[in-house]
C-alpha cells in the first residue's frame, strides 16, 4: 500500500460534486455571514470525507469488474497498489470520523449525512444492479447534499430548488450510463449488470425527458411568486440562458465528444462549460445581493 495510492482512491477530483452542499449559503442571504460560511465550509469538508469513504468501499466491491474496464483497471485498488483490506480500514476510519464530525453541526445534519452514507453503500452493493433504480439512487445522493447544506446553517430550502437538483442529478446520471454503455460496447454488462437492461435509444429518450423537465423546472423556480417575493426580484430568469447553454453543452460533449463518464472531470476540463457554470453562479449572487 502507498499513501499516494490511498490519496488517489479518495478521488479528490470528485469533491467538486460536494459543492452542492454550499448552494443554500448564498440563496439564504448568508453568503457574508461568517458563522454560516464556516459551518457550510465544514459541511463541505465532511461530505468530502463521506464521499471518499463511499469511493473506497465501491472500488473494493467492484474490484473484479473494474479489472475488466479499460480505464478503471488502472485504479490503485483494481491494479493491486492498494489492498482491499487496507482500503476498507481507511474507509471505516474516515467514515466514522466524518460522522462524528457531522454531529457538531446538529442532529438534523448528522441524520442527512448518515442517510447519504447508507444510500451510497446500498448503491455500491445492491441498488446499482437494478435498472432505473440505479440512476435514481445516484440522483438522490446529489439531492441530499443541498438539503444537508441547508440543515447545517438551519435554513429552509425551496421545493422547486430540490426538484431542479433532482432532475439535474438524474440528467448527469443517465448521461453517465449512456457513456458507459456506448464506450464499453459488448463488455458493458460484465462491468455493470444493469447496463444490459439499457440501450442507447432508451437512454436518449430518458435524457430527453429529463432535459426538458430540468429546464422547465428551473424556469418555474425563477418565476415562482415565492421566489420573487423571497429575493425581491424577478431577474433570476435572466440566468435561464446560461442554464440552457450548460445543459446543451454537456449533451454536445456526451454525443459528439464521447464524454460524460465522469461529470466532475467534464466540468473541470471543458472550459466553455466551466465558464457557463461560473457565470451562472456569479449572476445568481449579483442578482440576489443587489436586488
Q: Determine which of 102-106, 265-269, 278-282 has the lowest per-residue pLDDT on average.
A: 265-269
The domain tally of the chain equals 2
C-alpha cell at 180: 458507459
Q: Which domain holds residue 103?
A: 1-157
Residues ≥6 apart with Cβ < 8 Å to 218: 164, 240, 243
Residues in the chain: 291
Rounded to the nearest integer, the mean pLDDT of the chain is: 90
Q: Are residues 171 and 146 in the same domain?
A: no
Q: Are residues 37 and 87 in the same domain?
A: yes
Q: Are residues 273 and 208 in the same domain?
A: yes
Give the pLDDT of residue 172: 92
> pLDDT tens for residues 78-89?
888 888 899 899
> pLDDT tens for residues 184-205?
766 655 566 778 888 889 999 9
**126, 157, 188 - which closes a domain:** 157
Place of cell 439564504: 28
Backbone Cα Rg of the chain: 19
Q: Are residues 253 and 192 in the same domain?
A: yes
Q: Above pLDDT 90, what percent of the chain?
A: 63
Q: Are residues 166 and 83 in the same domain?
A: no
User: What integer is the mean pLDDT of 248-268?
Assistant: 86
Q: Is the pTM of this model over 0.85?
A: yes
Q: Are residues 64 and 119 in the same domain?
A: yes
Q: Are residues 169 and 241 in the same domain?
A: yes
Q: Are residues 150 and 168 in the same domain?
A: no
> pLDDT tens for residues 24-43?
999 999 999 999 999 999 99
CATH label of the domain that carries residue 121: 1.10.357.140
Give the pLDDT of residue 256: 87
What per-residue string of b and e applies to 73-98 under the rule 16 or more CB within 10 Å gives b?
eebbbbeebbebebbeebbeebbeeb
**96, 129, 157 - which closes a domain:** 157
**135, 157, 179 - which closes a domain:** 157
User: For the purposes of burial, counting CB atoms within 10 Å of the CB of 275, is it exposed (0-12), middle (13-18) or buried (19 or more)?
Assistant: middle
The Cα–Cα gap between 242 and 250 comes to: 12
Amino acid at each position: 500500500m502507498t499513501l499516494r495510492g490511498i490519496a488517489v482512491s479518495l478521488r479528490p477530483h470528485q469533491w467538486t460534486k460536494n459543492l452542492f452542499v454550499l448552494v443554500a449559503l448564498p440563496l439564504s442571504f448568508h453568503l457574508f455571514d461568517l458563522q454560516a460560511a464556516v459551518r457550510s465550509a465544514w459541511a463541505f469538508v465532511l461530505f468530502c470525507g463521506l464521499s471518499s469513504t463511499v469511493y473506497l468501499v465501491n472500488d473494493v466491491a467492484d474490484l473484479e469488474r473494474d479489472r475488466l474496464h479499460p480505464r478503471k483497471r488502472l485504479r490503485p485498488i483494481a491494479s493491486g497498489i492498494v489492498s482491499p483490506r487496507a482500503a476498507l480500514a481507511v474507509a471505516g476510519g474516515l467514515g466514522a470520523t466524518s460522522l462524528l464530525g457531522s454531529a457538531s453541526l446538529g442532529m438534523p445534519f448528522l441524520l442527512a449525512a448518515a442517510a447519504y452514507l447508507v444510500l451510497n453503500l446500498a448503491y455500491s452493493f445492491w441498488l446499482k444492479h437494478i435498472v432505473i433504480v440505479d440512476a435514481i439512487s445516484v440522483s438522490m445522493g446529489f439531492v441530499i447534499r443541498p438539503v444537508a447544506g441547508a440543515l447545517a446553517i438551519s435554513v429552509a430550502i425551496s421545493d422547486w430548488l430540490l426538484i431542479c437538483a433532482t432532475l439535474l442529478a438524474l440528467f448527469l446520471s443517465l448521461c453517465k450510463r449512456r457513456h458507459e454503455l456506448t464506450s464499453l460496447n459488448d463488455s458493458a454488462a460484465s462491468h455493470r449488470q444493469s447496463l444490459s437492461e439499457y440501450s442507447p435509444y432508451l437512454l436518449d429518450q430518458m435524457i430527453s425527458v429529463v432535459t426538458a423537465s430540468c429546464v422547465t423546472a428551473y424556469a418555474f423556480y425563477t418565476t415562482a411568486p415565492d421566489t420573487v417575493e423571497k429575493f425581491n426580484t424577478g431577474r433570476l430568469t435572466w440566468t435561464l440562458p446560461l442554464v440552457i447553454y450548460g445543459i446543451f453543452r454537456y449533451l454536445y460533449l456526451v454525443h459528439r465528444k464521447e464524454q460524460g463518464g465522469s461529470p466532475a472531470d467534464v466540468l473541470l476540463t471543458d472550459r466553455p462549460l466551466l465558464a457557463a457554470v461560473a457565470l451562472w453562479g456569479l449572476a445568481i449572487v449579483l442578482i440576489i445581493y443587489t436586488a
